[in-house]
A and B are shown apart, each in its own frame.
Chain A
């Protein structure tokens, strides 16, 4: 396959999705739609994060104490709720995750 054809196609398609609504500055949304759009960030981020914790390999549901993604993920949720500070959440979450993976012998050391 021609890699440059693929890159060009991906460029056009990606830009089209991102520019889709930016292209129509005259467009005004009705109140119900504007109200709904307020939920886009929460819904999309939750949809990315939750499977990442429960289905870490992208294939099978893993609810067990050997799933560091889930345990450290729940800990990260708690830190985020208490501190409401993004950088503190990321640092604490990553520290907990790698500590757990090390304790569970899941690091390629």
Chain B
């Protein structure tokens, strides 16, 4: 595919995930204003940090009077999962110059990772898959800015914004991505173990349970795949 088509497909394939993130952006903007941030500061967070969960948690911590040390430590732990995304995509982007690698890293969110890793997993040999990556990044980034702004400016006008349960939109989008990925028993085992561990470790501070759960799922999935390969006598893929 040519560059422009890769770019447009990346943006297009990210649209369902943007749908899931819209409520989060709006609620974030409203919450940040309620916590005492100015509209400029809210937009600076979205423009410069661009990490939904970390932004949410930072704003909530400020509202409870936490210090900057706690907030930065929490940001680090909440964002630890991004190192896994970074490692997963590294083999596919390692050939790119730094002027590509640095911006793509800046824009690497859960949503873009979910979409882009599927594109890199396809066998189609295209030298321009990083344009797909960029298309996903920019559509996600621009929509996040718009939603944060709407939330910051108009969020206070809607009472009980958080009581609608709009956060289910993100659960639905991530479910729609993960379920079709479950094609083999090691993949199902990885999902079940990660989900169960996430529940068991939910009480851990700073969302550490999320990273623990992902690692447990990865280990079990890989172990099952190796076990199956050993049983059937075939070499692992």
Measuring CB to CB, which residues of chain A are less than 8 angstroms from any residue of chain B? 1-11, 13-15, 17-29, 31-32, 34-56, 61, 68-69, 72-73, 76-77, 79-81, 84-87, 89-90, 93-94, 97-98, 101, 106-108
Contacts and interface: CB of A to CB of B under 8 A. Distances in A.
A69 B102 CA distance: 37
A108 B163 contact: yes
13 contacts: A1-B62, A7-B49, A10-B51, A17-B79, A17-B80, A17-B83, A35-B237, A43-B193, A45-B191, A46-B217, A47-B195, A51-B202, A87-B16
Interface stretch (B2-10, B65-73, B139-147, B148-156): B65-73
B126 interface: no
B41 A53 contact: no
B165 A97 contact: yes
Contacts of B176: 76, 79-80, 85-87, 89-90, 93
Contacts of A28: 91
Classify the interface of chain B: helix, strand, loop or mixed: helix
Q: How many of chain B's residues touch chain A, expressed as a range?
A: 35 or more
Contacts of A50: 194-196, 198-199
Interface of B: 15-16, 19-20, 37-38, 41, 44-45, 48-51, 54-55, 58, 62, 67-68, 71-72, 75-76, 79-91, 93-96, 101-102, 104-106, 108, 110, 113-114, 117, 159-160, 163-165, 167-182, 186-187, 190-199, 202, 209-210, 213-219, 221-222, 225-226, 236-237
B177 to A, nearest CB: 6
B222 A76 contact: no
Contacts of A36: 218-219, 221-222
A53 B170 CA distance: 11
Contacts of B236: 31, 35
A46 B198 contact: yes
Q: Which 4 A-B pairs have the closest CB atoms?
A: A43-B217, A50-B195, A89-B176, A93-B172
Contact of A39 (B16, B114, B175, B190): B190
A17 B72 contact: no
B67 A1 contact: yes
A6 B58 contact: yes
B190 A11 contact: no
Contacts of B219: 36
Given A48-B210, A50-B199, A51-B202, A41 B90 contact: no
Given A40-B85, A80-B180, 16 more contacts: A9-B68, A15-B105, A18-B105, A22-B105, A36-B218, A36-B219, A39-B221, A45-B174, A45-B178, A53-B171, A72-B168, A73-B171, A93-B176, A94-B172, A107-B163, A108-B163
B163 A47 contact: no
A10 B214 CA distance: 23
B169 to A, nearest CB: 6
Given A35-B236, A41-B178, A89-B175, A47 B197 contact: yes
A63 to B, nearest CB: 11
Nearest to B55: A10
Contact of B194 (A9, A23, A47): A47
A57 B226 CA distance: 38
